[in-house]
Structure 1
């Protein structure tokens, strides 16, 4: 996420390294590179210039604290200004209605239907809501069927009527259905077009007037950069929407839309899409995004994701097994499944400070665990429960069954043994022993 922009900003801050103080000359040189990095990321030139002017004013108006070097102070000022430009604080959505009606808008191909499902899943699992998805796209072939498939994936009801061709009538019938069946959130997936046109705008405007939704959200593909900002501006002039959703932030995103859309449209980014799975949705936190853009990671989001997958009862069982030396490969497999639920490996690595920079030239496969899983699945129940029983002949069978080599099986067994020892030491408070053991492993 924003790898190219992060690299260029990092190089810009290097200009100040080694300088004892901030001067007009070295600030101008640094900010020239910052402005160039923002423009290359598809941020509007005028916005990039205003941004660097503000940063310059603040940088020259401050004395460098003894605890900060000039480049560190510049990073801090840029981070604060990036946060402010992207909205300052995270914005929630209005769920005060009964039911709360959310109108989804956007161009065709922006990921609107998929994100409608992600939002429904988010509200169901994290806000304890009972959402209803509504198919208001009466034009695109298979649009209704696509929403039904999405609904089945997340176990959320989908309201549709293939005979009705008036989206306003479908929306009104859906809201009546929601009231009768206890749905407290209604998400309307409306039609998109390949380009902004009058017919499309009139239709979605009619839906808005008829149902008076609590929230109108504009879904935009983050990979389209400045075009996304211009499209958002056009939609906002007609709809006066409440917030923006950026999809496909896990792709080759330059970052222009995320950085400048708030400045142009004056509406907050509320959610971001970070993958194809139905749980790949995050609340947009400007401060956390600024940290990631500047290569500082996002430890808070990483911890939150870990906590979501944390099963207290399962953790207690594992602690007992570790204490009794009964921690086996079935337990290890469960831990792997929990990590995989947290999101893509590349996204997770980007949340660890410094890791994104170190891993930027490495191909991080989302199936990084597949060889390990294959080896574990090739073991018998007895072998999983008793890893020490795996002898040479068993290793050969496991490697053959998993399509791996005996060396890879040996490596897995060695790593598993070391991990089990560390886990036991941590549980027993043997911190010094564990640190010594880690040194020996290097």
Structure 2
């Protein structure tokens, strides 16, 4: 399976999850509720009224799940911390039982020769902080930094890679602009400040890590090339706007200390004049950048789509996933090469890449998912192509280890390498997991 151009020695092979999507037991052992615990109880917010109360029961079955990671031959496991497990009120009192869970998880990974990569925030803000304004509150960066320091002091002796925020664009836009995710708010006034406070929180956590930590820290952003559906000036301009809106909104301040000028045009009077001192702190150097890639944006001009006046469309002549996302592996290479131009010395990890498909039920202890096998094979080839063109790519994390709670879509969409029967919690290896395991082993043997 290895070809003439294997991935380099030391390349990190992993899989990823997030706390609310897999752990279950959100209020166990003294944990505080999160905005997602509340949002899933909002009528009509989630498909079939489903919640993450049980999810994959990773909180109770973590040892067995670590054995699955070991069986797949993975080097690393990227997971997130549930902020409210550790700080039930979001600030102040530390919940020892919640922190102990993550201590055991890290130790269990290391015992199996698997490196932990910890994400501090994957969208599950403590509900107590939402009651105080959440990410709209200018104190939120300090809250986050205080929380981060608790984790750094407890775990940095054993954790080599930290991610501050996962996809802050998603938690900003879906949480505060469209209302499709927790906390379910809608409007133009809040998103610019939510995004800015999350970036300031990232900066404060990086500063705290420089004082306390001795390994590496970065951030994971969802990035995708934006291609106009036609050559018309309107569609071309729509793709440019969407590129600034999705790819540059969070990346430009981190790399260059400024926001794209297009955002002021998109948000109009709702776009604030942010303090220069904030932007200078946000630009603090990173140790790596995490890239979450799933598809490209195929964009047309649409005045009805506010505030962007641009709409992503699903091509009817291309293969798509169960999320109606086009399968477009060339976009991963394009994204990585674009980053190489913008930040040529910054190491990159693909911290999420994967696909949801309508998988069949297990038969004879295996799930046949050939479309996901093809998706992985093609995207691994796209990653290798970027490496061959000089991208400093250090690792690849498949999304996701397990079928899990897919946010507002409930349990309807399955991204996992491992099938989960949500009624019995039985885990079953999919053909894609077997492929990934064999691929990794072939790289090691090359």
The reply to whether TM is greater than 0.5 is: no
Higher relative contact order (CA 8 A, sep 6+): 2
TM-score (norm: length of structure 2) = 0.29
